[in-house]
Amino acid sequence: MTNIVTEYPVKTLDGIELLPEGTELTEEILKELANRNDSASYDSLSFMDYGNIRQDLFIFINYPPYHIFFSDLEEFQYILKIMESVKLPLPVLESMEYFRQNDFQTYRHSLMVFMISILLAKNLLPENIEFFSKVTISSTHDIGKICVPLEILKKSTPLTKNEHKHLKHHAVAGYALLIYFLRDHKSFIAKLALNHHERRDGSGYPRGIELTNKIVEIIAVADVYDALIMPRSYRPISYDNRTALELITTMAESGVVGWDVLKALIAQNRMEKPNYHKIVIPEEKRGKAPSGNLYGKIEAD
Ligand SMILES: [Fe+2]
Ligand SMILES: [Fe+2]
């Protein structure tokens, strides 16, 4: 396994430094991190009943194109039931409130990635859906962003090389935070935070490993899709839905993501919700990327 090293410190919201910069995450360190929090007495609370999550979700699903994505009432009830069964430790939920107050785009994104991915998984991994729903709960994949300064998260001009490195820190930071909060050094939820920016062809980060786990891949695709179709600080105008799907098609063509996940995404965007096996991917690409897109533009320090 490629070594994982913290490029910046990992801190909780109340300022406790869990790991200093430059820590190699060996099995021993991870075990110690999971045990360190043993005496904490916080509760696990219902995800849906925390803060404004329930009301906010009902608002978000009406934004186009989500109004089509979630147009099947039966499917929507199904996701709601799953979400209602999720409980999370208080500090994990508090990170959601932190994003809601300080970086609303990350808050909305965190909720939507779970909702999108659960529908994709319903199609792609029906036999594992229960496990999937337990491990993919939205709020956690980007939790490491609590360790990235808000000025970087919300910057609307190109990031410098160092700022970009700091932003990427959220994958490893999320891994460490979740091991600590969930008190489990082998937590799949933590691994998901670590690996959600890895790609099938090894072109991702933090380790550049080839992504082989279907659950992580579904989250990775839901993550890219939501990032494209919603406005972001680095791109005030979002991609239209067609262009976003075409861009993810290009990613499938070059082996970055799998065809099956792309097909499930396209199926969900059709009113009649066909099985993903039946989707024929159009070869023609007519979409146009929005102007003012700074994604991937890095400035010298
Ligand atoms: Fe992320
Ligand atoms: Fe994300």
In the chain, domain spans: 27-33+43-299
Separation of alpha carbons 62 and 140, rounded Å: 23
Q: Output the CA 142–ligand 2 centroid distance in Å.
A: 5
Q: Are 86 and 48 in contact (CB under 8 A)?
A: yes
The alpha carbon of 78 and the centre of ligand 2 are apart by a number of angstroms equal to 23
232 alpha carbon, closest ligand: 2
Q: Which amino acid is located at 17 in the chain?
A: E
For ligand 1, the distance from its centroid to the CA atom of residue 32, given in whole angstroms, is: 25
For the beta carbon of residue 14, count every other beta carbon within 10 angstroms: 7
Instruction: Kindly report, residue by residue over 245-261, the tens digit of the pLDDT.
Output: 999 999 999 999 999 99
pLDDT digits (tens, 9 = 90+) for 36-65: 987 777 888 998 999 999 999 999 998 888
Residue 185 CA to ligand 2 center (angstroms) comes to 22
Taken in order 137, 138, 139, 145, the sign of the CA dihedral is: positive
Q: Give the Å distance between the CA of 109 and the centre of ligand 2.
A: 7
Closest CA to 99 of 152, 163, 143: 143
Nearest ligand to the C-alpha atom of residue 230: 2
pLDDT at 298: 73
Q: Exposed e or buried b for every residue in 67-99, given b needs 16+ CB within 10 A?
A: eebbbeeebeebbeebbeebbbbebbbbbbbbb
Amino acid at 79: I
| Ligand 2 center–CA 88 separation, angstroms | 19
Rounded to whole angstroms, how far apart are CA atoms 27 and 228?
36
Which two tokens mark 49? 């009943």
Q: Please count the residues of the chain.
A: 301
Which amino acid, residue 268? Answer: Q
How many whole angstroms from 15 Cα to the centroid of ligand 1?
Answer: 21
Residue 39 corresponds to which tokens in the numbers above? 């005496």
Residue 96 Cα to ligand 1 midpoint, Å, equals: 14
* C-alpha dist (Å) from residue 47 to 50, 51, 121, 193, 285: 5, 9, 20, 18, 40
Residue 296 has a pLDDT of: 64
101 CA → ligand 1 middle, Å: 19
Average pLDDT, stretch 91-109?
A: 94
Please tell me the CATH superfamily of domain 27-33+43-299, with its number: Hypothetical protein af1432 (1.10.3210.10)
Give the ligand at the shortest distance from the Cα of 103: 2
- Give the pLDDT confidence of 194-247 residue by residue, as tens digits: 999 999 999 999 999 999 999 999 999 999 999 999 887 877 788 899 999 999
Q: What is the pLDDT of residues 116-148, one digit of tens each?
A: 998 899 889 988 877 777 777 756 899 999 999
Cβ neighbours, 10 Å, residue 59? 10
